[in-house]
Amino acid sequence: MDLFENYEKNKMNNAPLADRIRPERLEDFLGQEKIIGPGKPLRKAIEKDELQSIILWGPPGSGKTTLARIIAKITKSHFVSFSAVVAGVPVLRKIIKAAQDRRRYYNQKTVLFVDEIHRFNKAQQDAFLPYVEDGTIVLIGATTENPSFEVISPLLSRSTVYILEPLSPEDLKNILEKTFLDKEKGLGKYKVKLEPKVLDFIIELAYGDARIALNILEFAVMTTKPDTQGIRTITLKTIEEVVQKRCLRYDKTGEI
């Protein structure tokens, strides 16, 4: 293993559970059957690498970013991830220039994933239009807000909006249970005993958000002291205490 591989492995090991176990294939993507299930138009477009510009609208933890990352692994286009929170139009101009060069010299398309696209104002969103229209970029916009109000009409008319729903209790349970089967990226390397109803309680607290559910579970496992046999027993009280600790709010002086 070289230094780069070792760095990437350590980076992944230190990432939150929700990031470590993101599915990398459509076959492993849980939930959102209405838009990404077998035979659905969006799935066909992704599998055939014929994706057009889309807007993914859904609550946190519903799979928007995960789906974009799966597309990144499947497509032969150059994939660029861009956050509207931390970057602006100057960065976008550089991305567009590089996309134009790739198209001109290598005949390669660019897929641009813009997380939280609603954070851009009208003028900033206008900057995408010419390049979506002429095919320089295929836009994947992700938003938690209603795009009818937060995304400009010209951009909406050039994109297809897909609505992602909060994950069902069954999907969340499958996601949580899978973490104990994965010894490399999940929690499978730990001896964990779950008291009855623990997963159901976590699911109830998560409100359809996979990230919240995984964060609660990981925090519970990692903060529970193993017994003499190395077993970490997670109870309903454990989860209550974990959630209370995670939800503490502080004022400007750092006091509760």
Cα–Cα distance between 155 and 143 in angstroms, integer?
A: 14
Cα–Cα distance between 102 and 61 in angstroms, integer?
A: 33
Cα–Cα distance between 25 and 200 in angstroms, integer?
A: 27
Cα–Cα distance between 61 and 207 in angstroms, integer?
A: 10
- Which band of pLDDT confidence, cut at 50, 70 and 90, is reported for residue 6? very low
| pLDDT value of position 167 | 96
| pLDDT value of position 84 | 78
Tell me the average pLDDT across 37-55.
Answer: 96
- Which band of pLDDT confidence, cut at 50, 70 and 90, is reported for residue 123? confident
3-state secondary structure of 79: strand
pLDDT surpasses 90 at 43: yes
- The encoded tokens of residue 157 equal 């008319």
Give percent of the chain above pLDDT 90. 81
- Which band of pLDDT confidence, cut at 50, 70 and 90, is reported for residue 90? confident
CATH of domain 169-246: 1.10.8.60
pLDDT surpasses 60 at 12: no
DSSP structure class, residue 118: G
| pLDDT value of position 13 | 65
Enumerate the CATH 3.40.50.300 domain ranges in the chain, comma separated. Answer: 32-163
Tell me the average pLDDT across 86-112.
Answer: 91
Tell me the average pLDDT across 25-33.
Answer: 94
CATH homologous superfamily, domain 32-163: P-loop containing nucleotide triphosphate hydrolases (3.40.50.300)
Cα–Cα distance between 95 and 92 in angstroms, integer?
A: 5
Higher pLDDT, 2 or 118: 118
- The encoded tokens of residue 13 equal 């090991």
pLDDT surpasses 60 at 256: no
171 within 8 A of 30, measured Cβ to Cβ? yes
| pLDDT value of position 88 | 76
| pLDDT value of position 247 | 56
- The encoded tokens of residue 210 equal 């996979």
Enumerate the CATH 1.10.8.60 domain ranges in the chain, comma separated. Answer: 169-246
| pLDDT value of position 5 | 41
Q: Worst-scoring range by mean pLDDT, 9-18, 149-158, 182-191?
A: 9-18
Cα–Cα distance between 164 and 150 in angstroms, integer?
A: 17
